[in-house]
A and B are shown apart, each in its own frame.
Chain A
Amino acid sequence: MLLIPDSVVRFFHRMASPPHFYAFTERLMPWLTVIFLLLTAAGLYGGLYLAPPDYQQGDSYRIIYIHVPSAWMSLFIYVVMAIAGAIGLIWRIKLAEIVAISSAPVGAGFTFIALVTGSLWGKPMWGAWWVWDARLTSELILLFLYLGVIGLYGAIDDKRVASKAVAILALVGVVNIPIIHYSVEWWNTLHQGPTVTKMDKPSIHVSMLIPLLLMALSFKLYYLIAMLQRARTELLMRERNSQWVRTMVLENEQ
């Protein structure tokens, strides 16, 4: 605690209060949207017009500007969900619970996009819509893990209890994801090896890499926007009987 500056601690304490969170995210939203639109425009322009075609795959490689960032996000969001769930379990912070469950549908969406774009790319490249390749399969299992989280949350009526259940499940899942990933990898592999995350020099040209990183950033912002919107409605739902929601609604009606 001594290492963390006082202002940061105060920021987090204030963010844990629902009315403050609601008002703060409302002010944040236009900024996030503008940055997201700029990044997406720049990333797509760079990826679809400026970047040269691949010497082997021609123009069809360009789907990576959607596919790869989605695949990154699918894992990233699961980890965020587990961390938020753990914070909710340990410190009983309502907003962490809400962030955890609001992340799940967005993560499932990105996983689905990664699967669909992978399949579209696979048809001309591998000659099949679907192959039982390691990374495809573990992505599919990740989708099932997301659907399990969403299903469990929907099945429990008391949403505070449901959030706890979701947090436990997400933590179990996060321990299992590497095990599942490596077991599937070991089981079979056909997928093209990672080209960006190599520790030495990435084996992708810089004119293709920059749009890819821009798209990755833009997807992160999209996640933030979508997750916060879901969190805000979820928050209103849960706090519908509280004073601050009532005052806010009355003020808006006038």
Chain B
Amino acid sequence: MEPILKVENLTRVFTRKGQPDFTAVDHIGFELYPGECLGLIGESGSGKTTVVNMITRLLDATEGSIVLDGEDITQMSGKELRRAYRKMQMVFQTPTDSFDPRCTLGDGIGESLRNLGMSRAETKQEVARLLTECGLTPEFADRYPHQVSGGQCQRASIARALAVKPKLLICDEATSSLDVTIQKEIIALLNELRWQRGAKLSILFICHDIALVQQFCNRVLVLYKGRIVEQGVPDEIIRNPKDAYTKRLIESVL
């Protein structure tokens, strides 16, 4: 089976004058298959967000390649890249910050559809459908980000990500800033979307909570100081960690 996302030798070195170079991500490589949910876990500063920013091309990679659905997007820019974004969307960590405070949620969700040339009326209908699918009501389209709660904002954020029917959904700590009950709801929503779409949707799930990864992901990568120190099925890793860092991580939860 062709992987939906294939990352090879991905490296990012941050250079600063007067300071030694800092390698945030060090030659990592992994594959994500259709319908799979891959967890990426690690402590803060382990390079999770850098990896995600490079995959979404918001940050240039120093070395390595990113292949999305058979297309090398590592050097893409402008129009080409915007086309690639139709296959890849992202849900961000902080719900309140993920919508423009001066635009309504509907504007934010419909922006990608409008960019695809959809008419205003069609967009409105589609936004209503997406909101309903994500457990909100169509009225939310007219609200501003500060008028809704964190959980509602995160649902709208998922609706926005699903608008272009992406093959890859990246959740960058999408549940970390929510409280546990809301967290559970969002995970339930993501699970539902996974069952509905089957092989049409793959998820890259960035998280620092190993328990959450265990119940949600098929496979997990453990990132430590910019390297992948361990990978495999979550249950196995938890039962039988090989790397010293993974052991510490699991001990800290138990």
Partners in one complex: no
Q: Which B residues lie at the A interface, using CB under 8 A?
A: none
Q: Which A residues lie at the B interface, using CB under 8 A?
A: none
